[in-house]
Structure 1
Amino acid sequence: MGNYRFIEGTVTSPMGFTAAGICASIKPSNKTKRDLALIYCDTPCTAAAVYTKNLVKSSAIEVTKKHLEDGIAQAVIVNSGNANTCNANGYDIANHMCLIAGETLGVKAEDVIVASTGVIGQPLPIQPILKACVYMKGHLTKEGGTDAAEAIMTTDTVKKEMAMQMELDGKTVTIGGIAKGSGMIHINMGTMLSFVTTDAAVSSDMLREALREAVEDSYNMVSVDGDTSTNDTLAIMASGKAGNKMITNKNEDYYTFLSGLTAAFRALAKKLAGDGEGATKLLVCKVEGAKSKPNAVKVAKSIIGSSLVKAAMFGSDANWGRVLCAIGYSGADVDVKKVDVSFESAKGNILVCKDGAGVEFSEEKAKEILLEKEINILVSLNDGFGYAEAYGCDLTYDYVKINGDYRT
């Protein structure tokens, strides 16, 4: 498990952080759902972020990139209901949001991270944000992280939040986070927003490096529907209030922190995958015995991204041939005659393919296993020591219903 433990909590669990989330009616038709969030630290933080790989990007990403050039941030402002993407005045609006948050909180606008999520191509009104921020200043609390988690939701059906603790330099360090995402989620920063905080003392350079490493084994292993969003942002702020010796190089403390951060990201990544639009099941593909880790990653990503595999899992159909097919076109260096495949859930484990060929198995038992809410697709390539996990969900009728009229 590593030198960490999950606890009840959210993005405000680390020392120094408070948050709030309210209904600002970003969409005039929204009168009740929280749609604007603020996250604030009472001291400047080291900070880093990664973003969507899509060439079409929200203006909020352009502003946040500029603000994080110095590796310092103190607050986050984020809205749902409107993506602020492909708007002629998008950059000015994103900048204005930072100015409003900065004036409200008494921090420099350049130390504010900004993000937006929702419908693309619709003008983002600034007046509701201005009005709401004045109100929110007096409502920033340690309990407000959960409200912030709700405020960033779009088609999500559940809030995604987590907290964990670990020991660094004899001090207790906490990591907390929230995330949103249900659709347009695909490998390599696919649709989601996530804001993570920690009270660890970590330099900007090492925080950026830890973020880059941790995301590869977590968020970048998630696929819901093959679409990559225009707004994906994963940002982290570190207050340093835990009092550990500042991590300035890749020493033992750095790798302890990295292990905990990766586990934290994986926890949120699995929440994202399990709440895919219309999803009824979380799928976890575990690939072992690859010639190398990159080969294992290719195989796991290919399987979890296969529409045919996802549809079979929705129907609780042990169609292992679709798994083999996805392995075959993955581009990985694989000897298909060595491949074993099993399906696993709380109801048990069943081998369905051995050495690249089918074996006799009970269809009834397989159906029982695949009817569960969390399914492990276990693949052994029997050709080395490479390992990887990828996270996804089943493909259902409701996914089409949700996306058929998303804009309206």
Structure 2
Amino acid sequence: MIRTLSKLRHAALALAVTAGAMFPQMATAETGEDHPEVARFPGAVIKDYDFREYEEAQLILSTPKDGKDGVVADKLLPVEGRVTYIHYETPRTTSALQVFRNYQSSLKRSGFKELFVCERPCGGRNLSAYRSLMKSRDLYLNGSKDAQYIAAQRGNTYVSMWVDEMGEPNVFLFVVEKQALDENRMGVTGASPMAKALNDAGKVDVYGFRFDTGKAVLRSESKATLGELATVLNDNPSLKIEIIGHTDNVGDETANQTLSEARAQAVAAALGEQHGIDAGRLAVSGQGASQPLADNKNEAGRAKNRRVEIVALSSPPPAANNTRTTTTQAKPAAQTPTPTPANQGENTRSPVDDANAIINAANKLKGLFGH
């Protein structure tokens, strides 16, 4: 009978592991997931989770103590960027010291440098008293028994972590990825048609820049259009643009390419000379006759193809129907490199993450049948 029960237990465990492999979504019922740069203590379970794309945080770098107006610390390190908060509950069979020492060792092996370590008992107060020091908003911090704290850094990644005892060891982990604020989330502001087009589509074809045939000198009737573009740039001080010249197909291909570049340069120069726009915000290029919008067989089509295109380089991505392609590399104005948009929203979850999730599921199910 005992052997039969043992076989049933092993069969059930094998089935649980197989099910976890077949159905990864069963691997966890937790809210949130581990931060990729800080490993989870074996058997720990996520109880609370919070992530902010940009928020302030503060690392404690000296032992917290009571002050006149609450808890204080002599040394604090403010950091802003992506902030991930994870509250873990670890198995009852472990101790707060065991968990803390393992995290301390794991961080060192991962290349983190310790900035400050506060051994137990650290501070002597309930962890909730340290919220203001850590700028942790209303995130859950609790417990005081055997409290230990570590602050560590690797490059632009900062770790701030408490471990204490509340029936079982609890871990309160903050990971801050220091970075500058993206100030362009609100898009291009302004009521002019040019501003609205840049905000909605990320680009606009402009026909108000006037040139003599075969020339790259702005005529006086271009003043209003130039002023409108300058207003857009002044209203959006973080906006950078690319100015792209286009011609019809009349004449030599090489000459048209050179002319389109020169006209774009003329617009950039006028923005700087007449409106004080920093050249570092202006990239210029020419496409010649390579990107026509209409048939060049008639004057109406050729007139539509002769244009200056303005493209927002630091604004919301263009609408889905924007199919503009650049056949030659943009030439920057005043030797300023053409900004390259950053990669967006890449999935950073790896096969190792999936495997860990399956193992966690198997461990949980194994607990149902004993060890």
* TM-score > 0.5 by shorter chain: no
What TM-score comes out, normalization by structure 2 length?
Answer: 0.22
- When Rg is computed on C-alpha atoms for both structures, the one with the higher figure is 2
TM-score for both structures, normalised by structure 1: 0.20
